[in-house]
Amino acid sequence: MSANKRLTELQDSYHAMIDSVEEFVVKEGKTLQQAFHAAEEKLGEKAQISKEKIQLASKELKDHLRLWGEVVEGVSEAYKDQIKFDLAYVNSSAWSKLQSIANASTAELLEFTNTLKNTAQDAVTENHKAAHQEHNLWGSEHALWLDEVAFWKKEHEQAITKLKDIEKVLEQQSSTLNQHVNAIQEHAKSDDKHEKIMKAAEQDPTSKVFEEADCKEVPVHQHERQLHAKTAEAHHALKTRHFKTMAMINMLYKETHKVD
């Protein structure tokens, strides 16, 4: 089975499960335990969804509610985005339903998730049939995880290419900074030359040579004024881009060098 088809089937069964659980919890007032049991029975009557897919969808939804329950006091938009990032099949509609189920009863949610947490490691397979069902369920999870890792590896390859492009851009920025330095230095030399001409004219007001030289510098100084304003604007733009780029690079470096 292709990765896309597997993901589509998981999406369908997950959305069907969350729709049913929300209906039983929010509209009929059932407890979460009752709602899951009723939802599994309801979906089991539909021939298009296999028992394996129902079990997987039920487990995924319980895991999501458990995650929510463990951080119920600190759920934020950032956590919402994290769930969407990790689980591509949880779309905006599913997120709203998950939120509706969780908010139906915070106290019950905490009790429900604590029960899941406490009994997760205590489940014992009582017969070979149950073990076989678990193996099939785990097999589906393993296949999903492998598909996800394969997708992440492709993203890593794309990221490496992007990093190489970023390196080229940084080299170009270094060249731009060198050009900016040259422009500042040339401007400074022009200023220094004009200063010497003005001082000479000031020291000997009777000199026609100095006077003529000083007059010639008037339009030159107007040009320098425009050039200085242009250089100042370029300097500000370079500073802004530099700070922004360095902040992002430093943030990425710290994130990739965290000690787990």
68 C-beta neighbours (distance < 10 Å), count: 20
The answer, yes or no, to whether residue 81 has pLDDT greater than 60, is no
> Residue 6, class by beta-carbon neighbours within 10 Å (0-12 exposed, 13-18 middle, 19+ buried)?
middle
> Which is more confidently placed, 196 or 18?
18
Q: Taking residues 116-124, what's their average pLDDT? A: 59
Confidence of residue 154 (pLDDT cuts 50, 70, 90): very high
pLDDT for 213: 58
pLDDT for 165: 93
Inform me whether the pLDDT recorded for 222 exceeds 70. Answer: yes
Most confident of 41-50, 89-98, 105-114: 41-50
Question: Other C-beta atoms within 10 Å of 44: how many?
Answer: 13
Residue 75 has pLDDT above 50, yes or no: no
DSSP string computed for 210-242: HHHHHHHHHHHHHHHHHHHHHHHHHHHHHHHHH
Which range marks the domain in which residue 156 is found? 151-256
CA 113 to chain centre: 28
| Mean pLDDT to the nearest integer, 235-258 | 86
Token pair 């030399």 is found at 189
Residues 68 and 155 in one domain: no
Helix residue ranges, H only, 105-127? 106-120
**pLDDT band with cut points at 50, 70 and 90 for residue 22:** confident
- Number of independent structural domains in the chain: 2
Query: 63, 55 in Cβ contact below 8 A?
Result: no
Same domain? 77 vs 158: no
- The pLDDT value recorded for residue 260 is 65
Does any domain span residue 130? no
Q: Are residues 159 and 243 in the same domain?
A: yes
Beta carbons of 244 and 203 less than 8 angstroms apart? no
